[in-house]
Amino acid sequence: MSKVQGYSLFTDFDIDLFKAGKHFRLYEKLGAHPIEVDGVSGVYFAVWAPSARSVSVVGDFNYWIQGEHQLNVRWDSSGIWEGFIPGVQKGITYKYKIQSDNGGIITEKADPFAFYCEKPPLTASVIWDLDYQWKDTNWMKTRKEHNALDKPYSVYEVHLGSWKRHGSENRFLTYLEFADELVAYVKETGFTHVEFMPVMEYPYDPSWGYQLVGYFAPTSRFGTPQEFMVLVDKLHQAGIGVILDWVPSHFPDDAHGLGFFDGSNLFEHPDRRKGYHPDWKSLVFNYGRNEVRSFLISNALFWLQHYHIDGLRVDAVASMLYLDYSRKDGEWEPNEFGGRENLDTISFLKDFNEAVYANYEGVQTIAEESTSFPMVSRPTFAGGLGFGMKWMMGWMHDTLQYFKKDPIHRKYHQNDLTFSMTYAFSENFMLPLSHDEVVYGKNSIAGRMPGDEWQKFANLRLLYGYMFTHPGTKLLFMGAEFGQSGEWNFEQSLDWHLLQYPSHEGVRKLIAGLNDLYKSQPALYEKQFSPEGFEWINYSDHHNAVMAYIRKGNNSKEDVIVVCNFTPVVRQNYRIGLPRKGKLVEIFNSDAEVFGGSGVANSGKLTIESSPYDGRDYSIELDLAPLALMVFRIS
C-alpha cells in the first residue's frame, strides 16, 4: 500500500473561516472521506491537532503500526494534519496516533468527525459514507407548517436503549425495528414529534448518552448510520417530526475521546474552573476558542443536513451560562464585568441559534434551561439567546408538588398551579415531564399520585389534561403515557405488560385523546405563547379546588372552556361565568369511562343563561366529574 500523499480538501477560505469560528460545514473537510485522486480510490484524512509533533493514521489496513501512514501538517498554522491514503476503503477501522509537542506524550484517539464508530466497548472509528436515498420529500416541503410556533407541538421523549427490548437476552432493538414498532406506536398515540435522548456515540450506558465521544456518529448499538436514517425517514413519512438531544455542555475524559486530544487542552477550557464539571466529572468545551465553536456549530448543522432532523433540544444550558454553576466560592472567577455569566457561552449560543435558523427553514431549537436567565427564547437581534423554545421547569416542579398532595389539602396550595400564569409568556415555554423526573428516587409520575388506585389514575389523567390545556408545547417521557408504575430503568424495557390492565390502557387512550384534542382545537395552539391565548374565568375557588379558564385562538368562535376539579368530589350544579350566549358542548372529559373514569359528564347541548357570574354577563351550571378535567366549546 502506498504512503500518504499530499492532498487537501481545504481552501484558504476554509482555513480563514475555521480560525474565525465561522466554518459551519467542517464535517465536509475534517474526518475521513472516501474519494478518488488521479483515478486512485482511497481516503482523505484530516484532523485538528495543533500541539502535535506527529500524527499517524493507524488501523486495520496497516496493522495499527504507528508511523506507517503519517499525515502532513498544513503550512498555515491552522494545526490541521491531512493526507490521502490510497487503497483504504469503507468499513475499515482506524484511529489517530498523536505524538504531542508537550513532552512527547503519545495518545491514540478516535476521529472527532467520524461518521460511524465501533460498537462499544470497542472504541475505534469506522470509515463510512452518508449515502442514502431519502423518501421524505413531502415532509421536508411542509416541515415549516408542522414545526411552527403556532402549531401543535407534542413531544414523546424516547431513550432508544430502553423503550423496548426483545427476548430473554434483553436485546436492544435495531434502528430498523424501531422504524416499524416505534413509528406505529407514536402515530397511534398521536404525538406530533419524537425526541431522542442522545443518539451520538457514547461509551458508557449509565450516562444515558449524555457523555459523547462520537459527535458525528449515531451510536452503533442499534445499527448503521443509514439504518438510523431509515428510522428518521419512516417517522417523517408518518407525519412525525424528529428532535435530537444535543450536548454541547460537556464531554467525558475517556482516553479515546476529545479530552487532552493532542496533548493539550484542545477542546476543553484550559482553566479547570471553566473546563471541568464537578457534578458530572467531565470536561467543558472552551466556548471562547474559535475552532471549538466551528466544531460545535458544524455538528449541530450536520444532523440537520444529513439526517433531516427537525429540532435540537440543547442539554444543560444553565450549566453553560453560569461560571459559578455547581461551584463554591473560590472555585470560579467572575467575568470581566464582575458578573457570574459566561460571556463566551452567551456569544456561542447566539451564533449557534443564528446559524441554525439562517440555514434550515422549519426547524426549532429548544433550551433545557432551569434558571430565570432572561430572553432565552427571544431573537438575538432583540438581545435574546435565540432559542425557539425553553423548558418550563418551574411549571413542572410546582405542578408535581401540587399533585403529590392529598386532595383534602389542595385548597391551601392552589397558588402552586396559578403561579405559572404570572410568567407563562415571558418565554416560549415547553411543558416537560421528562426522564429527569422519573429517576433517582423521585418515583414515576403515576407513583407520585395520592389516594387509592382509582384516585391515582384519576389524578394522573387530570394532570395530563391540565398539561395539555395549559399554554405552551408539551413533552412526555416514554412510559408516562401509560402510567408506568416504577421508576425508569435504562437497563431494561418499559413495563409494556401493564397495558393489559384497563387503568393503564385507559391512560394511554387518554394521551391519544389529548393529542387529538390539542391538534384539533386551534385555541390550544395558535396563541400558546401569547397572553392573548389565555384568560382566567375563576382561579380563586380554593375551597372547592376548582379552576376554570379560557384558551383562545385566532377565531373567538373556536375558543375552548376548561374546568378542572382537583378533588374526588362530584360537584353538581357548579356555576361558571362565560363570555357570550349560545350552547355549551362538552368535547373532552378525563373522567370518561373509555379512559378508566367514572363517566360523570355533561351530555348534549347546554343552554348558557343570561345570569351574571364570575364578573361576566353570562353563566351556566355544570356537573364537575371527580378528579377530572372537562373541556367545552360554545356553539
Q: Pick the catalytic residue: 227, 262, 368, 427?
A: 368
Residue 137 belongs to some domain of the structure: no
Any idea which residue has 430565570 for its cell? 372
Q: Which of 92, 68, 94, 56 is nearest to 1 (CA)?
A: 68
Does residue 315 have an active-site annotation? yes
Q: Is residue 102 pLDDT above 80, yes or no?
A: no
Residue 256 belongs to some domain of the structure: yes
Instruction: Say whether both 573 and 506 belong to one domain.
Output: no
Instruction: Say whether both 386 and 427 belong to one domain.
Output: yes
Instruction: Say whether both 174 and 305 belong to one domain.
Output: yes
Residue 253 belongs to some domain of the structure: yes
Q: What percent of the chain has pLDDT over 70?
A: 100
Positions of E strands within 379-501: 389-391, 429-433, 473-477
pLDDT tens-place string over residues 545-571:
999 999 999 999 999 999 999 999 999
Instruction: Say whether both 623 and 493 belong to one domain.
Output: no
Indicate the average pLDDT of the chain.
96
CA 189 to CA 154: how far, in whole Å?
11
Q: What is the mean pLDDT of residues 337-357?
A: 97
Residue 471 belongs to some domain of the structure: yes
| pLDDT given for residue 65 in this prediction | 92
Q: What is the mean pLDDT of residues 605-633?
A: 97
| pLDDT given for residue 2 in this prediction | 59
CA 365 to CA 389: how far, in whole Å?
7
Please tell me what DSSP assigns to residue 119.
P
Q: Pick the catalytic residue: 315, 344, 398, 559?
A: 315
Q: What is the mean pLDDT of residues 329-358?
A: 96
Residue 498 belongs to some domain of the structure: yes
Q: Is residue 593 pLDDT above 70, yes or no?
A: yes
Instruction: Say whether both 327 and 451 belong to one domain.
Output: yes
Q: Is residue 103 pLDDT above 90, yes or no?
A: no
Residue 123 belongs to some domain of the structure: no
Q: Which of 334, 536, 517 is nearest to 421 (CA)?
A: 536
Q: Cβ distance 225 to 303 under 8 Å?
A: no
Backbone angles phi, psi at 562, to 5 degrees: -120, 130
CA 324 to CA 333: how far, in whole Å?
8
CA 320 to CA 336: how far, in whole Å?
17
Instruction: Say whether both 182 and 55 belong to one domain.
Output: no
Instruction: Say whether both 273 and 374 belong to one domain.
Output: yes
Peptide bond into 522 cis (omega under 30): no
Q: Which domain holds residue 56?
A: 12-109
CATH of the domain at 275: 3.20.20.80
CATH of the domain at 61: 2.60.40.10
| pLDDT given for residue 5 in this prediction | 80
Residue 460 belongs to some domain of the structure: yes
Instruction: Say whether both 267 and 394 belong to one domain.
Output: yes
| pLDDT given for residue 104 in this prediction | 79
Provide the whole-model pTM.
0.96
Instruction: Say whether both 238 and 350 belong to one domain.
Output: yes
Of 471, 500, 524, the residue that ends a domain is: 524
Confidence band, pLDDT 50/70/90 cuts, at residue 224 = very high
Please count the other Cβ atoms lying within 10 Å of the Cβ belonging to residue 338.
6
pLDDT tens-place string over residues 162-215:
999 998 889 999 999 999 999 999 999 999 999 999 999 999 999 999 999 999
For the ranges 95-104, 141-150, 213-222, 369-378, the lowest mean pLDDT is seen at 95-104
Of 492, 508, 524, the residue that ends a domain is: 524
Residue 317 belongs to some domain of the structure: yes
Number of independent structural domains in the chain: 3
DSSP 528-591: TTSGGGEEEEEEEETTTTEEEEEE--SSGGG-EEEEEE-SSS-EEEEEEEESS-SEEEEEEETT
CATH of the domain at 573: 2.60.40.1180
Of 472, 500, 524, the residue that ends a domain is: 524
Instruction: Say whether both 94 and 164 belong to one domain.
Output: no
Instruction: Say whether both 382 and 327 belong to one domain.
Output: yes
Instruction: Say whether both 416 and 553 belong to one domain.
Output: no
